[in-house]
Structures are given as C-alpha cells and as structure tokens.
Amino acid sequence: MRMARDMISVEEAQDKILSYISVLETEAAAILDSLGQVLAEDIYAPFSVPPLDNSAMDGYAVLAENTRGAGQASPKVLKVIGQVAAGYLPSGEVGLGTAMRIMTGAPIPSGADAVAPFEDTDEVQRLPAPLTHIAILREVAKGANIRRAGEDIAVGELVLGQGIVLHPSQIGILASLGRSEVRVIRRPVIGILATGDELVELGETLAPGKIYNSNSFSLAAQVRRYGGVPRLLGIAKDTLSHLEAKIKEGLDVDMLITSAGVSTGDYDVVKDVLAAQGEIAFWTVRMKPGKPLAFGVLRGGGDNRVPHLGLPGNPVSSMIAFEQFGRPAILKMLGYKNWAKPTVEATLEEPIKNSDGRRVFARAIVTKRQGQYFARLTGPQGSGILTSMAQANGLVVVPEDVPKVEAGDRVKVQMLDWGEES
Ligand code: AMP
Ligand code: MG
C-alpha cells in the first residue's frame, strides 16, 4: 500500500477497504443468536410440517357427505363419539352419522374428511350438558378446514439454502424442524479505540477542558446494529507510546476501528504508529463530513493481519464515515452479498449548498406523503452536532459535482433506519 495522501472518491475508498476484507469462517450458533447471520448449511426437512392432517378450526370432524343439505332450518344431527385436543391422537373413527369434537391443531380422526366449525353448529346454544349429539347447521365441503400434512414443509424438501440471511421467520422455521443450533458465518469482533487527550471515560469526573468519550459508544452501537460484536478498547492518549500500546492490546480482533487523530492536527502520531506496525494509507475522501480517513493493515500475532479503519474524530463524521466504510466491511465479513445502503428518491424541501466539490451527506428527516418521499434537514449541520444525527432518519446525498440542490429537486437519500438487504 502506498503511503500517500490521495484525494479519492467514496467508492474508491470502499473498494480498497473491501479488497482487504474477507468473509469469516463458520460457527455453530444457537438459533436465537443467529438473527441477522448468514446461513452456512443447507437445511432439509427431516419430517413434514405439519406432521399430520389437522384441524384449522375448533369444531367437529365429520364426513362432508353427512352435512349435505344442512341449514338453519334443516339441521343434520350427528352422534358425538368423543373429542380430541391439540397434542393428542384421536381415539375412534368417524363414520356415517357420527362426528368428533376437535380443537385447532388436533389430528383429524380417520374417516373424517372435513371440519364443521363451532359457529356452524348448535354448540354455542347448548347447556353444559354431556354432548351426545351435535346439530350441523351448514354444509361443509370435503377438505374444508383441514390443514394437510406437509402443506407447509414436505419431508426431504430443501427449506433454507445456505447463503440466506436469518430473519425471525427463518429462525421460527428452524425451530419447527427441531433445530436448536445452526451453522452460520460467525460475527466479526470489532475493536473500538478512541484517541485524544481530551477524552474521559464514562463514570469519571469531567475536569475542565475534557469531554466524555462518546464516539466509542455510537460506533459500538453501529457495529452491533449491523451484526458485529464490538469490543471497547478504551482511550489512547495522543502520545506515540500510549497509542502504540493500546493498538497492540487491540489486535485480537477481526477489524480495529479508531476514532480521531487522522485530521491534520494530530495525524502524525497515528501515522507513525501505524506505519511502524503495518501498512497504512492515509486518504482524503471526497466527502463531507468525514474527509480524513485512514485505512491500513496491522500485523497481529503470527501472520495475522488486522484491517484497521481510522475514522475522523468529530462525532457526526465518525458515524457517517462508519456508515460508508465500516458497515460494508462488517456485512462482507458476515457473508452478505449486498452492502449497498437502502436508498430512496425524495423531493428536497430546502436548498443545500455544496461549495467545495465533495459528496455531501446531509442529515435529514424523511417523510412519506401521498406515496412520495420528502426530505428536510435536521437543522445546523456542524460535524460536532450529534443531535442533528439523532433527529435524522436519512442522509441526503449531494453529488460532488453538484454545487447546489434546490427545494423541489429530486435527491437520493440513504435511509438510516431501514433493515439490511441480504
Ligand atoms: P480530531 O480528529 O482528533 O481532530 O478530533 C476532532 C474533534 O472530535 C475534536 O473536537 C475532538 O474533541 C472530537 N472527538 C474526538 N474523539 C472523540 C470521542 N471519542 N468522543 C467525542 N468527541 C471526540
Ligand atoms: Mg484529537
């Protein structure tokens, strides 16, 4: 990697970063922990779901032909031979002139070919007397209200193929097949190291001139949100030796993220440490906020190589740069195929200036009215104003070659609160 300060586009930076990122190995995970992970095995059904024909309603299992001509004025009275609840097998067989009381989910007794729901019988008008007979008040068709064995999943069927992302419904399917564990691509562990002499940890007293370390927490939350496991590594002082020691501590991870120390002021310290420990590139990315960015590969133990993403220090810049660079790296490690941020087209409700030829990511509130998206800014856009990020549900993207967008213009908006696509 060349040690140069190139001015590059967001896409170039993304491509370079992703070229150093690989899909991680697989692991066995408890199904609930696998939410959002990529399936690493094919799941075939060891049995059918449902396993037996069963009732879709509370009612009476009957022979459909016994209900022919049934109506309010012409009830068909059948002898009740027993009842069956969900979880039990029916004892007895339904034949001509008989019926079995049945609950939703209970297996259909042999002989029966339909279920007459309670509301089509005189069940509700009855006294709580032993039920010897039931009047059917409406015809039922053959097969009515019966869920067929295997109608959801047939034995031997490929139910979930490797490569899909596990959402709640897929986790439910795994459980319905009796699987408590599943093989998935493991989650990346992301080390998060804040840098700066002005920072203090939560719980410490805030001396004059100091600020709390908020970046580590917003970044860790972003890591977790996109499926990674954050590991907080604390704060490194703006000195060579301390930064070096903290980075060494943090090399047992799949990727290291640092915040701050990459802008012109203190950039040299970080650069020297990183250059000594691995390969490093410093870039100026044509974006706003989040211009300074460092990316490199650190030498861990043995021949271990740890990608390192050095984000800017301003709280909004670090979050937006994470969205553009950290998020795709995590999704790639997780085995996702698509790491494009979900995007909509919206009508802008106020102008945005773009004076210095960078791609602007403006914090915006996106609303939908009459089927159309509209976007307005969250107020002052300073890169230290974290509340402007907190109000936003989207980032309006103004291209680098567009000096101004006007109210009424159509713009692309990256949605911050939409789920990931696999
Ligand atoms: P720097 O990149 O070191 O020049 O920092 C840019 C700005 O971000 C400064 O105002 C820092 O105080 C602020 N900053 C840096 N790190 C953090 C952090 N972990 N939490 C909150 N603010 C930070
Ligand atoms: Mg600093």
Q: Which fold has domain 29-49+151-185?
A: Molybdopterin biosynthesis moea protein, domain 2 (3.90.105)
Ligand showing the shortest atom-to-Cα distance for residue 213 = 1
DSSP letter at 49 equals: B
| Residue 414 in contact with ligand 1 by CB distance below 6 A | no
Same fold, 4-24+187-334 and 343-415: no
DSSP states of 78-129: EEEEEEE-TTS---S---TTEEEEE-TTPBPPTT--EEEEGGGBSGGGS-SS
* Burial classification of residue 189, based on how many CB atoms lie within 10 Å of its CB (0-12 exposed, 13-18 middle, 19 or more buried): middle
Q: What residues flank ion ligand 2 with Cβ within 5 A?
A: 196, 260, 266
How confident is the prediction along the chain (422 residues), in pLDDT tens digits per residue? 433 446 899 999 999 999 999 999 999 999 999 999 999 999 999 999 999 999 999 999 999 999 999 999 999 999 999 999 999 999 999 999 999 999 999 999 999 999 999 999 998 777 665 679 999 999 999 999 999 999 999 999 999 999 999 999 999 999 999 999 999 999 999 999 999 999 999 999 999 999 999 999 999 999 999 999 999 999 999 888 899 899 988 899 999 999 998 877 655 677 677 777 777 776 789 999 988 888 888 888 778 889 999 999 999 999 999 999 999 999 999 999 999 999 999 999 999 999 989 999 999 999 999 999 999 999 999 999 999 999 999 999 999 999 999 999 999 999 999 987 76
DSSP letter at 251 equals: -
Write down the domain spans for the chain: 4-24+187-334, 29-49+151-185, 54-147, 343-415
| Residue 314 in contact with ligand 1 by CB distance below 6 A | yes
Looking at domain 4-24+187-334, its CATH superfamily turns out to be MoaB/Mog-like domain (3.40.980.10)
The position carrying tokens 């996109």 is: 226
Q: Which CATH architecture has domain 54-147?
A: Beta Complex (2.170)
Instruction: Determine which residue's CA is closest to atom 15 belonging to ligand 1.
Output: 313
Ligand showing the shortest atom-to-Cα distance for residue 265 = 1
| Residue 263 in contact with ligand 1 by CB distance below 6 A | yes
Which atom of ligand 1 has the smallest separation from the CA of 194? 19
| Residue 27 in contact with ligand 1 by CB distance below 6 A | no
| Residue 312 in contact with ligand 1 by CB distance below 6 A | yes
Flag whether the pTM goes above 0.75.
Answer: yes
Distance (Å, whole) CA 128 – CA 85: 18
Which atom of ligand 1 has the smallest separation from the CA of 262? 2
Which atom of ligand 1 has the smallest separation from the CA of 195? 16
Which atom of ligand 1 has the smallest separation from the CA of 198? 12
Ligand showing the shortest atom-to-Cα distance for residue 260 = 1
Q: Which fold has domain 343-415?
A: Beta-clip (2.40.340)
Distance 260 CA to ligand 1 centre (A): 5
First to last CA, the chain: 31
